[in-house]
Amino acid sequence: MAFGGLATATLRGRWAEVLVGQQPDLRVNADRINAHLTALAEFGKNPQGGVSRVAYSEFDKAARVVVMDWMRAAKLAPTIDYAGNIIGRRAGQDASLKPLLFGSHIDSVPEGGNFDGNVGSTAAIEVAQTLAEKNLTTRHPIEVVVWQNEEGGLYGSRAVSGQLTPAELKNVSNSGKTIEQGIAFIGGDVAKLDQVRRKKGDIAGYFELHIEQGGTLEKEKIDIGVVEGIVGIKQWNVTVTGFQNHAGTTAMDNRHDALLAAAKFIQMVNRVVTSIPGRQVGTVGKIQAFPGAPNVIPGKVTCTLELRDLDDEKVDTIYEQIGKETKAIGDQNGTEFAFAELHANIAAPSDARMRALIAEAAKGLALSSKVMPSGAGHDAQAMAQLGPMGMIFIPSIGGISHSPKEYSTPKDISNGANVLLRAVLAADRALA
C-alpha cells in the first residue's frame, strides 16, 4: 500500500478527508458509550458518588471482565498480556504493518470519579465497534488497550515500553497488594514481563482520549484539547524517624516528634514549589503517623512527595532544594528524613503529525480545539517511547477530577469519541 509516511499536515489532512469522505456521516454510537460508562460506575461505587476502583481490587478485576465482553461484542479479540493489560486486537488489511493502538484505563484513585480513564476506554472500544458495524477494515492491525494500574503510576503501559524496573514490582499499591501480587491477581505473570516489552517502532502509533482534568477547556469554551506533551512525574515515599514516647510525661523540649517534623516538611514543599514561576506542582497526598494514637508522640511518619513539570530538569532542581531544606527541619528536633523513589515518568511530548490529525478531525466535525499541555500523567507518555503519540482532551466540568465530583457532559464525550474515530482512520491512512 502507498498511503504511509506522508510529509506534510496538508497532505495528511487530505488523506483523512478522502477516507471520511467515503463515510461523511460516520459517527460513534454515543448512547452505547454512555451506557458503558453507567455500567462501569457500578464497579466500586461509593455511597457519596464516584468509585473507589483501585487497581488490583475485586472491583477492578470484575470491571475488567465486563470490558473484555464489550471488546468481544466489538469484534476485538481480547487477551490479557503478561503485564495484566487487556489488549483487544483486530487484524488489518496489511499484516506487514505495525499495529495502531488506542485506549486508556479503567482503574481509579481511591474515591475517584466516573470519567478519568473510563471515557477513553469505552470510547476506544466504541470506535472499534463502529468500524466493525460498518464493515470498515483498517490497513493496520488495531489494538484497543485497557492499561492496568494507570493511577498507581502507569504500571501496565511502562511494562510495555520497558520503563518498569524490577524493584518497582515490590511497591505496595492502593489495593494493599504489591504490584507483583496485583499483576498475578488480574491474570498477568511477572516472570514473563520481558515478553510484553515492545521496542521503538513496534507500534504504528498511539491515540488516547481523556478528560482534561483541569479547567482550561471549559473556561475557554473549547471543545477539544490537542495535547502538546505530558508532564514528567516523580514520586517518593518519605520516612521521618523520630522517637516514640508518652505524650503526657515527655516535656515539649525533650521530644523528637516525627509528625511535627513532617508538618514542617509539608509546608516547606509547598513553599519551595511555589517559590519559582511556572506551572510545576508539588503534592503530599498520603500520610501516616506511627504508632498513631492520640496519647503517643509519633516515632515515625511515612508520607509521599510528588513533583510534576513539563521540564524534567526543573523537577530535579526542586527536589534538590527540598532535600536541602529537609535536613534543616530534621536537625531542629532530632528527626531524620529518608526518601525512596516510588517511580519516575519522564516528560513526553506528543507527535506533531498526530497533533495535526487530531486538530483536523476536530475541524472536520466543526469542533473548536486548542493545543495544551497535560498536567496529569497518562499511559500515552509510555507509548510515546515506542511511536508517534497523540492525545485528545475533552472538557472537565469545573476542572475537577480524582474526585466523585468529576464530570464531563455526554455531548463532550461523544465529540471526543468522534474525534478519536476520525483521527484513528486518518492515522491509519497517514502512518507507515
Q: Which residues pair with 233 in a beta bridge?
A: 308, 345
Closest distance between a copy of itself and the C-beta of residue 100, in Å? Answer: 27
Binding mask 300-339 for a copy of itself (x = CB under 8 A): ----xxx-x-------------------------------
> What is the closest distance, in whole angstroms, from the C-beta atom of residue 33 to a copy of itself in the complex?
22
Which of 251, 277, 324, 366 lies at the binding interface for a copy of itself (CB under 8 A)? 251
Q: Which sign, positive or negative, has the C-alpha torsion 391, 396, 398, 400? A: negative
Give Cβ neighbours of residue 188 (< 8 Å, ≥ 6 apart): 80, 81, 82, 83, 84, 85, 148
Nearer residue to a copy of itself within complex by CB, 244 or 418: 244
Cα separation, 196 vs 164, whole angstroms = 11
110 binds a copy of itself (CB under 8 A): yes
Identify the residue whose cell numbers are 510528588.
Answer: 306
Q: Is residue 244 a contact residue for a copy of itself (CB under 8 A)?
A: yes
CB of 125 vs a copy of itself, minimal distance in Å: 24
DSSP one-letter code for 256: B
Touching a copy of itself, residues 254-273 (CB under 8 A): 254, 257, 259-260, 262-267, 270, 273
Cell of 417: 469519541
349 contributes a contact to a copy of itself by CB under 8 A = no
Q: Which is nearer to a copy of itself, 52 or 418 (CB)?
A: 52
Site for a copy of itself in 158-197 (CB under 8 A): 174
Q: What span, in angstroms and rounded, lies between the C-alpha atoms of 164 and 219? A: 37
Half-sphere exposure of 119 (CA within 13 A, CB side): 32
| Binding-site member from 250, 336, 351, 363 for a copy of itself (CB under 8 A) | 250
Q: Is 309 exposed, middle or buried (0-12, 13-18, 19+ CB in 10 A)?
A: buried
The residues in 80-109 that bind a copy of itself, with binding defined as CB under 8 A, are: 109
Report 31-60 residues binding a copy of itself (CB under 8 A): 52
Give the E-state strand segments of 232-368 in sequence order. 232-241, 245-246, 281-283, 287-290, 296-297, 300-309, 336-345, 348-349
| Cell numbers at 319, concatenated | 527536589
CB of residue 62 vs a copy of itself: minimum separation in angstroms? Answer: 20
Report if residue 380 touches a copy of itself, rule: CB under 8 A.
no
Q: Which of 91, 167, 247, 340 binds a copy of itself (CB under 8 A)?
A: 247
Size of the site for a copy of itself (CB under 8 A): 71
- Considering only 14, 45, 197, 286, the residue that binds a copy of itself (CB under 8 A) is 286
For position 213 contacting a copy of itself by CB under 8 A, the verdict is yes
Nine-digit cell at 275? 517559590
Q: Which is nearer to a copy of itself, 136 or 287 (CB)?
A: 287
Q: Which is nearer to a copy of itself, 150 or 360 (CB)?
A: 150
Q: Is 282 in the site for a copy of itself (CB under 8 A)?
A: yes
CB of 247 within 8 A of CB of 294? Answer: yes
Among 8, 274, 368, 409, interactor with a copy of itself by CB under 8 A = 274
Quick one: which of 248, 277, 324, 366 contacts a copy of itself (CB under 8 A)?
Answer: 248
**Which of 2, 95, 252, 366 contacts a copy of itself by CB under 8 A?**
252
Q: Is 210 in the site for a copy of itself (CB under 8 A)?
A: no
Decide: helix, strand or coil at residue 212: coil
SS3 of 138, please?
A: coil
Chain positions 14 to 33 lying near a copy of itself, rule: CB under 8 A, are none
The closest alpha carbon to 361, from 389, 390, 384, 396, belongs to 390
- Strand residue runs (E) in 191-309: 205-211, 224-230, 232-241, 245-246, 281-283, 287-290, 296-297, 300-309
237: left (phi over 0), alpha (psi -120 to 50) or beta: beta
Given a contact cutoff of 8 angstroms between Cβ atoms, the answer to whether 333 and 400 are in contact is no
CB of 269 to a copy of itself, least distance (A): 9
Tell me the per-residue interface mask from 114 to 153 with a copy of itself, x by CB under 8 A, - otherwise: -------------------------------------x--
Q: Which of 26, 39, 172, 296 binds a copy of itself (CB under 8 A)?
A: 296
d(CA 2, CA 23): 21
